[in-house]
Structure 1
Amino acid sequence: MSFTLKVNGRAHTVDVPEDTPLLYVLRDELGLNGAKYGCGVGQCGACTVLSNGTSLRSCVVPAARLGGRELTTLEGLRAPDGAPHPLQKAFLAEQAGQCAYCIPGMLMAAAALLREKPRPSEAEIRTALDANLCRCGSHNRIVRAIQRAAAELAK
């Protein structure tokens, strides 16, 4: 099945079976490897991307269903001037990634949260990231990074 996806501001025509998960299209067809394969059932968050600004588990949603939506991957997460997004800078400053496998999903979930709620409380951050798993135990640094980014974006 041939269809067009708008990813990171660019239109891409792909030809894959209609039930192909978005994650596979992003990685295998478009070469966008930011979203990671974790569990394959939408429970860990490693594959999180944004669909019209809302977080989406790309491993469980067929790409063919997403035509007409603006999809953003980690590769498309940028500040308006093209520099790294404040979230990316804050994650580095707080050393929020240990193995960093979960970090792309955490960043995208955090971007969706800050879009919806620019100044979230610590409890709201933890709730928003509750379904994103980190086996390294970097949660406290991740929360601090999101708080730092929120403060930077509020300036």
Structure 2
Amino acid sequence: MTPRDASDAHDNRWSDLGRPPLNGTALRRALVRDDGLWTDVEVVQRTGSTNTDLAGLVVKENADEGVVLVAEEQNAGRGRLDRRWTAPARSGLFFSVVFKPAGVPVERWGWLPLLTGVAVATALSRTAGVDTALKWPNDLLVSVDGEERKA
């Protein structure tokens, strides 16, 4: 989404694109396995930033690796160069994941967001047949009615 005033976030053609609300119970049932990477999936209606909220959980509660926080709406997201943006409910995919890469030197952790962008674009394209592109470094773009939109 492009940066915008939060007051107009709900009054545009990309608001609530007609998909049903996410079902946290169903997502947990589908993703969380004893031997899997995902240890918990939490879905919230609205947040300022999934990244800020999840980072807070890591600090306060030492959240485990594999915890996923998903939001239907995000109203204080931050991008490159600390640019702020909002995204109306159900207008994109807003989630953050806790990774604690064992054995990987901290100086290499900067590659994670870049590799994640490539992995998400590839997975959506291959598994769901969604026309995807990547605006480097990690903005996922999808085609909607012939227009590229940031997801």
- TM-score by structure 1 length? 0.27
Greater strand percent: which structure? 2
Q: Whose relative contact order is higher, 1 or 2, with alpha carbons under 8 Å and at least 6 apart?
A: 1
- TM-score by structure 2 length? 0.28
